[in-house]
Amino acid sequence: MKHFSLMLLLWGVLFTACNDDVTPELTVIKEYTLTVVDKADIPVTKATVNVYMSHKPDFLVMNKTTDIFGKVHFLNLKPGNYMVTAMIGENKVAQSIILVNTDNSLNLSTLKANNYVVKTSDYKIIVQSDRGAAITERKVDLVTKDGGIIYKSGLTDTNGELVFAKVPLDKYLVKVYDETNDNYLLTEEIEVVEDIAKNESNVEIVKLVHNSDIVITGMMVDPKGTNDPVIGSVSGGGFTHPGGYQYIQLLALKDIDFGETPYCVVTGNNATSPTDKTYPAALKGWVQSKGQNNKTTYQMNLTEGSVKMGEFFYVGGLSYMIAGYYNDWGSPMVGKSRWWAFDYRNKRGSEDNGASKGGSGIFNTLNSDKKTNVPDGIAVFKGTQIDENAIPQDVVFYGGDSPIREEDRYQIADNDHYRRVSTKGTEQFFFGAGTNSWFAKQGYHDDGCYIMMGGEVTPTEWLKPRTGVAYKLNVQNGPESVSLADIESREGVTVFVNK
């Protein structure tokens, strides 16, 4: 009996030992937020913060650079003591020991650089109307040029003035909002320097006037399925293709007889990524492809037919359809009296401006990563004989998460998003120059990306600027799942106000 009890005790010891070996204690990983400030408690931006083991000061665990608020946020630190240093270039400006606790709420501290001074200055913004009247209680943001982070924000006083105090010397963007303080009207680039006498900007709020008889109100940039099929070819679901499915929606701001007064619409395709060389740089802007065998620009003349003031009309492929096709059915069609159709797959652009697209369509879709596309453009001109110096009546750009291609020279129009001359009097004739950087974001790769421009417009000005929101528009759920009302009367379409 004693022998049996001893065996049970031995098995219990072995089981406990094995169980302890199988389930070791897990390492706890924590976070830590550190703010670096100078001797006057001004945040130190662009400082490199190094984290070392406290007992091994030469062993670098990780490092990060402080943001505009002097902050760094470290992840994946084991609880314990660490040594941290803050570096400005090769100079160490601060050093301390920090304790990473098991409670994340305690893991924050300030690292003070007692012998370092951040160079700052005040900057004054004066917001006035175009007739010199002070604009009060107008929201103004001071935004970092790199990253677009709002550093400071405020409202103008009774004199239309707002002073941003103790701003680190650097270049910034100033965003001035509309009277509702919901949408920003314009953006100015400024530089904060030591000489405070130079740190002042007079921002003039000008009515968003335009000089256009036609404005761009929407575009189907990426229909679901094939964008520009061979006419008469049959889809996998059995649908016979009538032509291209990409198109532009436009709004007439007056009665127009195109037989008497012709216009043209030009698309500019740039690249799906900064390294893509499919489309040569638009060194000649909207006529880059004139007489050339490339697909950067494509012109479509409007020389017959007519439209009424306040009427939507369309320029695009031969399908006349608003949402492409799916399986063996197509989508609703626009009447031919309001649709100017072009065989851009097989024919060169009007006035020889653009090679036949051969299946690539008049718009670039997102790259295979479903995110990137260098911004492309659409322009409307009065007349059909244009050159590189011609100024469009209206223009908009759209794209993905890609920078503007700097070498392109697309002339822009004065409208709700672009200015040919900045409020400071600086010439900025091209897209990408100065403050002319706005573009609508596309999405829904190969799933029916329709960009609804929105806004409110009169024959002379924009009451509300266009927003350019991407909507999914396809007939995957049946031919009656979409209608013309989805792009002409739903909430978010461009509203015409006749005043």
CATH superfamily to which 120-206 belongs: Immunoglobulins (2.60.40.10)
The pairing of strands 312-316 and 306-307 is: unpaired
pLDDT of residue 202: 86
Q: Record the tokens describing residue 252, joined without a space.
A: 């007439």
Helix (H) or strand (E) holding 58: strand 56-65
CATH 2.60.40.1120 fits 30-113, yes or no: yes
Cross-strand bridge partners of residue 378: 267, 396
**Residues in the chain, overall count:** 499
Quick one: 436 exposed, middle or buried, by C-beta within 10 A (0-12, 13-18, 19+)?
A: buried
Name the one residue in this structure whose structure tokens are 């528009």: 473
Q: Record the tokens describing residue 318, joined without a space.
A: 């031969």
- For 18, residues 6+ apart whose C-beta sits below 8 A from its C-beta are none
The SS3 call for residue 487 is: helix
Q: CB–CB of 401/442 below 8 Å?
A: no
385 vs 391: CA distance, rounded Å:
12
Q: Record the tokens describing residue 57, joined without a space.
A: 């000061």
Q: CB–CB of 218/450 below 8 Å?
A: yes
pLDDT of residue 158: 95
- Fold agreement between 30-113 and 120-206: yes
Residue type at 84 in one-letter notation: V
Q: Record the tokens describing residue 378, joined without a space.
A: 């659409």
> Can you give the pLDDT of all 499 residues of the chain as single tens digits?
444 444 444 444 444 444 444 444 445 778 999 999 999 999 999 999 999 999 998 999 999 999 999 999 999 899 999 999 999 999 999 999 999 999 999 999 999 999 999 999 999 999 987 656 788 899 999 999 877 899 999 999 999 999 999 999 999 999 999 878 888 877 788 999 999 999 998 887 766 878 999 999 999 999 999 999 999 999 999 999 999 999 999 999 999 999 999 999 999 998 766 666 678 889 999 999 999 999 999 999 999 999 999 999 999 999 999 999 999 999 999 999 999 999 999 999 999 999 999 989 999 988 877 787 889 999 999 999 999 999 999 999 999 888 888 889 999 999 999 999 887 789 999 999 999 999 999 988 889 999 999 999 999 889 899 999 999 999 999 999 999 999 999 999 999 999 8
What is the b/e burial string over 234-249, where b = at least 16 CB atoms within 10 angstroms of the residue's CB? eeeeebebbbbbbbbb
Region of residue 289 (phi > 0: left; psi between -120 and 50: alpha; otherwise: beta): alpha
Hey, where are the domains in the chain?
Answer: 30-113, 120-206, 207-499
233 vs 306: CA distance, rounded Å:
32
Q: CB–CB of 338/302 below 8 Å?
A: no
359 vs 343: CA distance, rounded Å:
11
Alpha helices in 121-164 (DSSP H): none
Phi, psi (rounded to 5 degrees) for 33: -115, 130
pLDDT of residue 155: 96
Q: What is the dihedral of CA 387, 275, 442, 311, to 10 degrees?
A: 10
Distances (CA, A) of 114 to 93, 117, 454: 8, 8, 52
pLDDT of residue 334: 98
